[in-house]
Amino acid sequence: MAEPPAGVRSTVFGEINSQAITLATNSIFMGTVFVCRLQKGCVRFCYVPPGSRTPRRYECQPAEVMQAVANLPSNGLSNQQRARLLTGEQSRVVPEFTSIRYGTPGYCQLAAGCAPEIAAGADDESEIGVFHDLYQPQRAANLATRLAEFTPAGQDAGIIYAS
């Protein structure tokens, strides 16, 4: 029997129904994922929509931010306030794209306002999804460091993105 496919550094629009997933890493799944065999495989550093059924997950969104809210001390938070916080965090980390229309220049590119848990949420702190290997967060950090080092006193420098 052939091994099930692995989703590595991918962005998938649409629902996935599979017998098994051996490995999904640094990927964005925008539709519900339904996997039959849950004992085999791993999903790590991915965005997996709520309601999905996957093998064990590690550092996946929005489960991580929801767990962080659930672990907050109660300090006078009512159940209604906690539910509002959970809903807000869950909607905050939904990936935002420049374009989801195939053939356009920004297709599958994460938008500038995308949550940091997505924009720098990969295992190597790059963005998750198909543009992972561009290492945009690391390149922006390196450029900001160099700008701070070499900008003359009294001058300001910044990064302006074209798209």
Q: Is the pLDDT of residue 47 over 60?
A: yes
Q: What is the predicted pLDDT for the residue at 4?
A: 52
Q: Domains in the chain: how many in total? A: 1
Asked whether residue 116 is domain-assigned, the answer is no
Classify each residue of 86-114 as buried b or exposed e, where b means 16 or more C-beta atoms within 10 Å of its C-beta. beebbeebbbebbeeeeeeeeebbbeeeb
In a domain, 30, yes or no: yes
| Domain of 32, in residue numbers | 7-60
Mean pLDDT across the chain: 89
Residues of the chain with pLDDT > 90, as a percent, come to 64
Residue 54 resides in a domain: yes
- Nearest in space to 46 (alpha carbons), one of 31, 63, 28, 34: 28
DSSP H or E segment with residue 11: strand 11-12
Per the domain annotation, does 68 fall within a domain? no
Residue 48 lies in a domain: yes
Any domain includes 133:
no
Tell me the average pLDDT across 120-140: 92
Residue 142 forms part of a structural domain: no
> Residue 1 — pLDDT band, cuts 50, 70, 90?
very low
For residue 61, give the DSSP letter: B
Residue 4's alpha-carbon distances to 1, 18, 36, in angstroms, are: 9, 8, 12
Q: What 8-state DSSP symbol labels residue 13?
A: -
Two tokens, residue 73: 């001390």
For residue 133, which phi and psi values (nearest 5 degrees)? Answer: -75, 0
Name the pLDDT band for 3 (thresholds 50, 70, 90).
low
Task: Summarize pLDDT for 74-115 with one digit per residue, the tens.
Answer: 777 788 888 888 888 888 999 999 999 999 988 999 998 899
Q: Is the pLDDT of residue 5 over 70?
A: no
In a domain, 125, yes or no: no
Q: What does DSSP assign to residue 114?
A: -
